[in-house]
Structure 1
Amino acid sequence: MKCKSISLSFSFRFFAMQRKILFVLAQVLHIQSRMFLCRLFVVFILVFETFYSCKEEVGDPNPYADVLSSTPLSKIENYVGLESEDWDSRILNLDKHALDYVNELNRIDGFTESPSPIKNLDVFKSILLEALNSQTDPVVSLLKNKLLRIYVCENLGGSAVTGIVRKDGKSIGGFVILDANTLNRNANDWISYKENSTFQKGNINIRIKIEEEKQNTKANALRYILLHEFGHILSETENIGPSFFSPKRSYSNYEFYKGIWKSEKVSYLDDSVFTIRPQIRFYSESISLDENWEKIYPILSKTPFPTLYAATNADDFFADSFVSYVHVVLEKKPWKLEILKDNKPVFKMENGIAKDSLRSQRQILERIFPN
């Protein structure tokens, strides 16, 4: 009995010790658990803050965001009579709001020009109306819905600029400001002049044909220019790329630019495929065509850029792809480039919008047009 009693006492004591040990362990585990949870929470907060910090840093700074947001031209309240389909009512001479808008853009870009209203608006308007009325379905439907106003001026500092119109915080359309003096060429001469503006004058020059001889008019030059500018409006309203109103703009999540553009001005092709591309500046005469044409156009023809202008930056990649799609694919019009040495062709290429490398871009463009 005594041994049994001792055994029971030992068992009781052992059981009591187990309970104490378990209790202490539970407390330790509880404390450790709380510490673990606290640490986990701290880690989560750090990751969360890092994520949003990184997210805020993504994209290039957009110097035009404040101008676009503050100008009355971006507010729907500035537009009346939009229910009218009459183009004549949408074409206006430069007014104070448009003047202030261009002056701000020129200030940011370092241009000294300041535009003024055109003196012979009626003459230019007749050419512009011809360009607008020659648009065909399905393009005309888009233009009627989203091109809300066209301003005409002189001394713009370029051929044209574009802006966006918003309603209740949503981009619904846009406007275009045209320089009448720089748009005084027929279609083939205008686009050839534009292409050659990149290069220093020499023994080699470029000739581009976008219209047959009977259609080689000033109106068709304006038609092409308007479609390019309208491409910028569509990019915003159709969410093709980052908003022009965003303080920082990143292209990484937009399908149209995938594998082609890292940022607005940096392409994935710059390092190895098209190394001279970052030097290309239209209206600058900064590159020798005589020395560099073989580094530009033969390579361009093998890239996903449909034109050289489409290779200048991500925004113009879409805008020039859009006008190329309408002009070449929908309307079956010519787009042929020749490089001439002593007036003899040494290289030829066509608009590249039909390339296999642009298949996904064409599919995106197809979805824009109303059925």
Structure 2
Amino acid sequence: MIISPEIAFWNDAIQQPAERRHGPAPEHLVAALRASHAGLAFATAAGFDEDVDRALASLPPAVLARLHTSWLGAYVVEGLEREALTDLVLTPDGEFLGIATLLDAGELADVTANGWASARASAAFPASPSLVEVRVEEAGADTRANALRLVLLHEAGKALAAGRRFIPDWWAGEAQGEYSFLPLSWRVDEAGGIVPADDALRRAGADPAATYEAIEGTAWLTPFGAQSPLDDFAEAFALYAHIVLSDRPYAVRAFDGAAPVDYAPRWDAPRLAGKLALLKRFVPDVAREADPQVAAAALPFAPLVGTAPLMRRAFNKVDMAPVAQALLARAESDQLDANAYLDFAITLQLTGDRDVAMDVQAEAVRIRPHYTLPARQGEMLRLLVIMGLGDLMANTPIEFLLEESDVTLEMLYVTADAPWPDVVPEHDVMMVCMGENDANQPLLARLSEWIAGWPRPVINGPDRIAVLSRDGACNALSGIDGVEMPQTVRLARARVAALAAAPETLTDVLPDGVFPLIVRPLGSHAGHDLDKIDTPAGLAAYLERVPADSFYLSRFVDYRGANGLFGKYRVVLVEGVPYLAHFASSEHWMVHYLNAGMGESAAKRALEAEAMAQFDATFAARHRAALAEIDRRIGLQYVGMDCAETPDGRLLVFEVDNAMIVHAMDDEATYPYKKPAMRKIFTAFRRMLENARTRR
């Protein structure tokens, strides 16, 4: 083990991309190692680190991604008296900092790829070192850089074996519990020792040709790998990366007194199926994946995919299963891969497994509450987004609003059981995107305290978001001239049952209440368990089929238009200016865009196209005063509203919410008019951020 007090150096190192973590060993590292390697010295070999740079840059992306979290880099020395050393780096107090690799420039000064591979293979036959030749590169690529590439792949295998229960950790000394890679070629004997599971190589003796013939009947890839479980894993990892991921050769010729024996490990052979399956899961072959989203999802510790691309895939009815499987494999392979957990939670929601999705999301936030989505167009503004746990309708759809913009999103999840972080990401503007619900009310109150006096501009104060419950919004908008928002009350189940039994008491709790009533459970969205109840008997029947504890009740307003259709507008207010996000028409009173038949009806789309084209001059003009007063009372720079018009021309408000889905995913061929309308919203939203920044 390497004991080092230079925590800042190692922290800086691991912030670099894995392929850039290399260089001459610093003085403190050489000093730390001299106790066990007295002859250690600084490297002097010309051009050696440049070859290390070339070697690292050529490693498969999945290998570099897998090294990202714990590998501290490759550092060049001389006098190590071995080609390479990979070991743990600990503080003097025993805190684990990572795993570092040392390369001896003296030992490796004159190597070539084929020469190094031949020497490595011959090491398994010390009595006959000249009887094995290995070709791993063609003549033009038989360089020192490619030799170092193989060295680094083997050392990477050792580093990545640590702590993952593939094999016993090299510092542990004995097997403890179960391992995934070990039983493929090894077993634990009665004395607790680790011995080969197959004695075929022992029977072959020291004859290289006989050994390579015998190895075809085992699960080892090479005789060198059969020396120990650590060598076995490192050899398998390196050759998987070299042959499968990189399409490079590995051909052995072993000699004896008779004809030579040729050997090349075939990864598709049944004998290697167990190792191949494990390694494919651990380091996926993303280069051959034709689906770019699956490739991005499979790459270990890859950047966050995010809600918008995944929802767009589901919206376009592209199979989500390959993405889900890739993300699940990543999460299972490394329980610190928070991006995999969060993307997997999104995928589970999109495939209908909400309860499991919420558990996975909570685990992602426990691992790491902060996630970054870089700007697509070159960063010009950094937005700190305060998010809460919940489904796809629990937060402002910030990714859709800024999907192709120059804004980097720093998404910070806050929870009721965690304190406000001591350090938050650098940002120009903060926006609270957490939506209102009963579970979030205490958190919104705490958030108001946490960010009071915040030194950066804040968009959408949590105290104003807290007003947006259905009954809260109703109270806030009460009495606005030209606005109809039926009074809404929340009632416990027993009280609703009492109303069903004694309907004459309805006006005691709902002064304007008459049947039909609109009833829904608290916290429901998108029409889930929403119903129009025409009679007290219908209310009793509703309670029998909906097991919720509490409900919202309000009076039903018939808003059918002269054309016989119910029309619902989704309007967003950006700095008080109204924009139309969609207009859906339906024969049914409960209008949701996805089930209103918009895609099937050219006539309905024509109505929406006209509504969008004429919105400023018609709807927005008719309700200008009402919308301005709604904006003043709600007090949010960005908010959405589902609404309609009554036959007598009033603005009928169904819901006010900062987390309504607003997107531009619709097919342009079918909805050619929508993209320009959505672009207006996105432009206004980006302008709002810039205005906030300049006002600070």
Q: Say yes or no: TM over 0.5.
A: yes
CA gap of 1:240–1:83, structure 2 versus 1, over 3 A, is same
Q: 1:177 aligns with which of 98, 102, 126?
A: 102
Which position in structure 2 is the counterpart of 1:351?
Answer: 265
Which position in structure 1 is the counterpart of 2:77?
Answer: 153
Per the alignment, in what secondary structure is the counterpart of residue 141 of structure 1?
helix
- On the 8 A contact 1:328/1:335 being kept in 2, the answer is yes
CA distance in 2: counterparts of 1:244 and 1:201, whole angstroms: 27
CA distance in 2: counterparts of 1:171 and 1:126, whole angstroms: 29
Higher relative CO (Cα under 8 Å, sequence separation at least 6) belongs to 1
CA gap of 1:86–1:163, structure 2 versus 1, over 3 A, is closer
Per the alignment, in what secondary structure is the counterpart of residue 187 of structure 2?
coil
Which position in structure 2 is the counterpart of 1:48?
Answer: none
CA gap of 1:194–1:241, structure 2 versus 1, over 3 A, is closer
- On the 8 A contact 2:22/2:74 being kept in 1, the answer is yes
Per the alignment, in what secondary structure is the counterpart of residue 249 of structure 1?
coil
Which position in structure 2 is the counterpart of 1:95?
Answer: 27
Following superposition, the deviation at residue 205 of structure 1 comes to 1.4
- Structure 2: which amino acid aligns with 1:362? L
Following superposition, the deviation at residue 265 of structure 1 comes to 5.3
Structure 1 residues without counterparts, runs of 5 or longer: 1-67, 107-112, 280-286
Which position in structure 2 is the counterpart of 1:72?
Answer: 4
- On the 8 A contact 2:25/2:76 being kept in 1, the answer is yes
Deviations 1:97-123 (A, max 9, x none): 44544753x6xxxxxx73222124x62
Q: TM-score, normalised by structure 1?
A: 0.65
Which position in structure 1 is the counterpart of 2:164?
Answer: 238
Which position in structure 2 is the counterpart of 1:43?
Answer: none
CA gap of 1:260–1:195, structure 2 versus 1, over 3 A, is closer
Following superposition, the deviation at residue 133 of structure 1 comes to 1.2
| Structure with higher helix content | 1
- On the 8 A contact 1:161/1:177 being kept in 2, the answer is yes
Q: TM-score, normalised by structure 2?
A: 0.36
Following superposition, the deviation at residue 172 of structure 1 comes to 7.1
CA distance in 2: counterparts of 1:236 and 1:71, whole angstroms: 17
CA gap of 1:259–1:102, structure 2 versus 1, over 3 A, is farther
Give RMSD over aligned pairs. 3.2
- On the 8 A contact 2:135/2:252 being kept in 1, the answer is yes
Is 2:206 aligned against 1:275?
no
Per the alignment, in what secondary structure is the counterpart of residue 119 of structure 1?
coil
CA distance in 2: counterparts of 1:128 and 1:242, whole angstroms: 29
Following superposition, the deviation at residue 241 of structure 1 comes to 2.3
Q: 1:365 aligns with which of 275, 279, 283?
A: 279
CA distance in 2: counterparts of 1:170 and 1:177, whole angstroms: 20
- On the 8 A contact 1:147/1:175 being kept in 2, the answer is yes
- Structure 2: which amino acid aligns with 1:139? V
Which position in structure 1 is the counterpart of 2:137?
Answer: 211
- Structure 2: which amino acid aligns with 1:299? A
- On the 8 A contact 2:76/2:103 being kept in 1, the answer is yes
- On the 8 A contact 1:158/1:182 being kept in 2, the answer is yes
Which position in structure 1 is the counterpart of 2:65?
Answer: 141
- Structure 1: which amino acid aligns with 2:144? K
Which position in structure 2 is the counterpart of 1:84?
Answer: 16
Which position in structure 2 is the counterpart of 1:11?
Answer: none
Q: 2:88 aligns with which of 160, 164, 175?
A: 164
Per the alignment, in what secondary structure is the counterpart of residue 305 of structure 1?
coil
Following superposition, the deviation at residue 90 of structure 1 comes to 3.4
Q: 1:114 aligns with which of 32, 39, 60?
A: 39
CA distance in 1: counterparts of 2:8 and 2:50, whole angstroms: 28
Deviations 1:35-85 (A, max 9, x none): xxxxxxxxxxxxxxxxxxxxxxxxxxxxxxxxx2x7228x85551323233
Which position in structure 2 is the counterpart of 1:194?
Answer: 120
Which position in structure 2 is the counterpart of 1:312?
Answer: 227
Is 2:51 aligned against 1:124?
no
CA distance in 1: counterparts of 2:126 and 2:90, whole angstroms: 41
- On the 8 A contact 1:261/1:267 being kept in 2, the answer is yes
Deviations 1:130-174 (A, max 9, x none): 111122322222234443122211221211110134699886742
Deviations 1:286-307 (A, max 9, x none): x5xxxx2344221122211011
Once structures 1 and 2 are overlaid, which stretch shifts more, 304-313 or 190-199?
190-199
Structure 2 residues without counterparts, runs of 5 or longer: 284-297, 300-696
Following superposition, the deviation at residue 350 of structure 1 comes to 0.6
CA distance in 1: counterparts of 2:35 and 2:217, whole angstroms: 39
- On the 8 A contact 1:150/1:176 being kept in 2, the answer is yes
